[in-house]
Structure 1
């Protein structure tokens, strides 16, 4: 709580007395105190005012509290015939400057009527304490005023304050003091930062409640390697201790045969004479070299057969290692000269890599002297010069090979392969792909960069060049030059194995064509190979879950942290650990406690839907947990979350080419769903998820339904809410949904993507949106939107659903645009007055903007208010004089933000502009 204003009546100058209020001295329980008092009971038409001085408001404190202490006289203590009241009124008036003693009643608006809980009689005084709320303040300051209209009242004190969550450090994340929001904004999200020497995978966040309390922290900071948590700080590990990874753990003592000479160590180096093998963990102990084997004995039990048994004892000192092996070298000596025995000599079981302390040597010749040398080896023997010859691992080339797993009834094997690869960390604006057409299932790729990760994908091609199955994108990395020469040589190339499922379908020239909606099929199209099955058609929904989803044991799931909340419960990020499989990052949807059986079935029905889909642009279902108390749905984890929020956070950072690439992925996923006779019904950017590779995947199948087999190919709902801004007019009017209505929604998603997550139709109400659509108005082109992309949007928004493009058509068109980037250079007409919703120099109500901050807030750029103030731009006339260079100079650097502000100023300059939308 922070006090804005406080007065006691003894401080006469604090308030401006208007009409009859006066300062009086009273005695209560032997103590004297002062009060502002008025008591003109009996006089008609009383209107007495007491006003505070100007109270400056902290900009973010839009909600303040007024605590009053006052006394009210009991009307029964006066003559019954005298007019009397027992209440008074609280008023407020906002202002950007102190008006001094000027007072106009018309500028004040009533907040509340104040009535006492206890009234004062002739026998004693009773002090009342009341707290009232004044909300929605927006100007620089305000006045409070108290109106008496016929009571006998004394005002002892007034305390004005706002509530704030105090600056704090939680889980090593520092959060600033934050003013609590209004009742309409019960939780205010606050971003923090990790304390010094701590880090987090995501920006830590916490929520400030309306009561000024911190709740629900998201994001966890951990001390960096070499640092440990001490209270709310991360402190260096002391010499002799280390910490290898970011964690909440403590520093550990250096392991055996290592030394920690410096503070803040992430690992402890080996002492002189001790080593670590390449496969040893860097946090493990160091070991010494093994000593020589002991007691070598040769037994000639079968000399006539040319055989000899060698045996020995292990070394006295293994160097602290258990991976001891032995090698045997044979030399034949004659005339004082020794030479290797050659390949004639046989060893059983082998001459190297022996784990037992004996070996049988055969094919020896009689009458020759043989010398045998037995050596002990361990994982660190290479450091003593006992390792075999070394050679460089390739740092600029990779060898790849792959297997082909044909489908049953495959008539023709693949003739060629298309290999595509790129650097993983290419600049987002320019990604270079290399495409190779190969005749065989292996290739040597050279001239790669050392120490660089590459992503590879293989696709099979049939004899006619049509594409078949494709592998997923796999990552492999070349070695750093600094590591060359430090590794044993076990082969000249890294072999990669990619499984490609090849699927070639023989076209049937006599396919059956039923009486179906022309939108969904044409004589040239075949029925889909697989058709979606509505799980709601099952008498027992649990059967549908078992049919379409894999059951996972809860012990294989590790929850890490909450990343959101769904309709049925919390959503976690976690790890799926299935025996025999690599650990996978997953999203885990949970069912909140106290659920009903119907809620459980509704919750799991989404898994029954998702489990039927297999496409790289559809969110992948890993499995479900149904046989235990806490039901869960486990899906692949998408690191960048929802598309609308991701685009808002990266406004202006992506090129049109990249945005169209995202749209192409969404369209491909929707084509797959449409081919399965499936309608999504809730396609929107908020329901598209994005991973680290900027792949977009369709998710959230809660509103989705199957296409029925009726001639219209529609699904009629039985009521309920539908997302008006994304829904086609026929679906709104008649509650009928088709793939054509999904195409309309896809057009809205296109607009959201090209507008970097802008809300469709801005602040228009749902009723206004429906009215505008029915009057043939359509959303205008977003800023910098290619004309070809906007024209496709308009095609998706055609009133006649049969004339809208199919998803297959959309994918083909987007592919053409991506293959010809120059086609994206022609920009659609953009009108800032429409797209930014600015009628001339006015606010949404038509009145001129009163301040620069109000204007910036209207275009959602309020984060730059301080930049404008520091640059001395404090009124709208100065804003109208700004040019692009001026905007850059005050610190607006992001291209999207720069354009938004610049285009807004253009709209402000046009005094004749009116609020409208484009008509189709």
Structure 2
């Protein structure tokens, strides 16, 4: 029967799946295409001779001017139909163990035939059989294995043609080729097209590494690792690797190649640097333009040499600019100081041309000239601050002799001045000697600089004065003219007295008591002409009733000294009283001036390892418990030093409480015992609701090796990672965020005490019956140094790579910021219900991926705000990560606003979860539904599937989301895990919305 009778021709030009136009991104290698063949394919039908019955028939049709062939069968009036249609031998590529079969077909509605066809079916079956050679027309049903039952989504009626498209996967192919077969059991069906292909990850270049075309593996193979080869003129320290997914997509790139020196990356290739550009080392950087004053060589330059007359300093990088020699300093002047003899100041302006450098220094050279003869000034001359290496444009020169000529040479230097002897003159610049000579003829005459009072009486004044410069020639005598007068308001009646002296002191008598006099001293030149004089200064004789100036000075000095001693005594007594008050307990009246929070002392953790005797630390921070107060009940785990028990602590006068008891195995040394008890010395310093509480220790026993114990509060639900795995999907996002908030609060407390945990992970978080999480396990923890950026450097030992920040792995530097990174991993563990971070990647692959900026993807159903906080915790720059105080505040805001948790982060099941394989661990298909459920850790629903009559994997593959709910799977997390697993089994790569919850 022709199922096309009465139906208008219908041609489809694109594929619609769930209303979405699908464009496949991966490369598909087609090995059979019924429609593209364009002719009769010669497929085998069985049984070969059916008498009056008709099996599969090939029909040639014309549609839109093109001919195509279809296979159809419609024996709906006959009972017990068993019609087979087998393809020709399909050869496969050896690596293609997984192929996709795409079928386009039409199925007639059984109701459209009226009531005369009680045996009509609306499904047919797909089978496969492997072989190493073409068996021709030989056909044995027993050699075929069922792949799937094909059922239409839409059924064709009398008046409307409905074309279906289904895709199935054939797994674990291992022989040279295979056949496909279609079994009709009584349907009215037409096969319009059969297309068989396998997926490949196409050849690609990523990070300058060439990865060959790779056949995608099967579900049981997961990610297929592929080694890359660096493109021409690129190198790599480690072999680049990438992974090909089962969907034919590249993922998880590890390592990279970099262009060699002299080459840069251009469109996935390494090309030589263009003329005028260079690159000195292998890196991902672009070629740089040759720096200033350098030669532009041909292409592929590693560096650019300097032009003639330009240089690089010995400490300059070979890739830096070239510099010229500095020109001479400008505007050299000498200024004579009036403050002391034989001293002047040289100053100048910087060179007009520094040669392009900033490391300009100056040197000063002095020559003494008499007549036409000049010689170095020698060591007698003093320079302040120095004569060489000057960075300022000024220097003070002292110890100069009067009446001599001095020549000063100031020279500018830079880092390239060492090449001055090799320099060639440049016509447009000053000579490269970079020196400027300026002559200074220093011939200054002496002059009086100040007058001082030596002594006074009612009738006399004794004076002395200073001369600059002091005479250097001993035979030379200086003459002075001293002029004085009585201070009188009537200027017209003033009388001057003039004295001529050859020494710089004088005592003047016959003066009036208690009278002020004005004095001026002037130097006389050798020819008798006046030289430099002092300012007019006033001095007063004493009255008869007053003491002399010397006696007065003594009395005044004694008074000042006594007052100073009294002031010192008062200050010392005040400071001692203040110090005593700072150590005393605060009184009630102090609260008036400051809050209790401001006066509360900051508690800081004390490292027990700093104690010379660690036993003292145990006694200081931990309470000793008598062994008779402890009752062990059962072993609940094993620690590094011995078993861990659940027990009861009953102290007289207190209510008995459940406790956890860590024990020390017999035979340990005293050092190992101290290490065991050091954890108690650490825990004993903490008091916070989210930090595991130390009840005490047992150390004072006759046989302490046998009985040494650490007793902590008992956490009923044990380690957080195991607890979440056992209750997968049972908690809401709000409950999980509440757990994280408790952990963050505990870590904020530790951070505020300047404490670094170093081993923060879900396995080291304990949970009680109230779902309260507490930080535990301080075996790897260490204290911060005093400064806020202090770190602790380990001396060795293992580091938990998957939880540790990259700087802590690379340099063994641990800070509160590295604990924040670990907290981000804990957040991922909690939101993924105890999933292992980075799945089955090796530690080396994890480190490589992190350095390549890979970060864990969002777990399933993770709120977007929570995942964004994870990413902030995983910032490469530790200074930009949030602090634990910020984390606690943000989690509090999320808990106060439940609406903020409803926006879910983007989820990609190909990376975010490890979808279960379509086969067991030995590569064979799952033999039962219970085996499949066990592989995805959902074996608790085995009875649900059995009671619903779902006992084969074929039935599982037909299940929809509503079917999973109907058999009793109600928890959202469990519902999604099973749904995604079925999605993986069916390999519906086009969309995930089929199983969206």
Per the normalisation by structure 1, the TM-score is: 0.45
Give the TM-score taking structure 2 as reference length. 0.42
Larger relative helix fraction: 2
Larger Rg: 2
